[in-house]
Amino acid sequence: MNVVTISNGQKRCFSTLIRVLSVFDREDLDVVYKLVMDIYQDKIPEGFDKVLWGDLIVMFNPDEQDEFWNSQHEWKVVSWKLHSSSGVHTLITDEGLVVHMLIEKKYPLKKGPYLMQMLS
């Protein structure tokens, strides 16, 4: 469980990034990204922090050479949701893989049946 204190002093608890995306706007998400990257600039986090850190890196800095993006042929998307307040698409696969993508970013989605499946 992560606790976030917002600018008016209220505290909000979140256990998943999907919950954060449904509440935060894009500006808040940018701030969270910068804070997490500053905290872990010299070390790799552990536990849930590593999941959040990894999700944010994939979302803000997609790398087409990364093994994650090269495994797209294995993805079977069962859900695709737009979080309009934060400007993020969330894909969920049949194996429970969750992919978060910012609307205005270009991601290394490869041509093939998996891209067509995601688009349909």
Dist CA 86 CA 71 (whole Å): 26
Full domain range(s) for residue 47? 2-119
Joined together, the tokens standing for residue 98 give 């969750």
66-75 confidence digits (pLDDT tens)? 888 888 878 8
Three-class SS state of 112: coil
CA distances from 49 to 17, 18, 30, 38, 72 (A): 11, 14, 17, 13, 24
4-45 confidence digits (pLDDT tens)? 766 667 777 777 788 888 888 888 889 889 988 999 999 989
Structurally, the chain folds into a number of domains equal to 1
Three-class SS state of 115: helix
Question: What residue ranges in 6-116 does DSSP mark as E strands?
Answer: 11-14, 77-83, 88-93, 98-102
At residue 88, the pLDDT reads 93
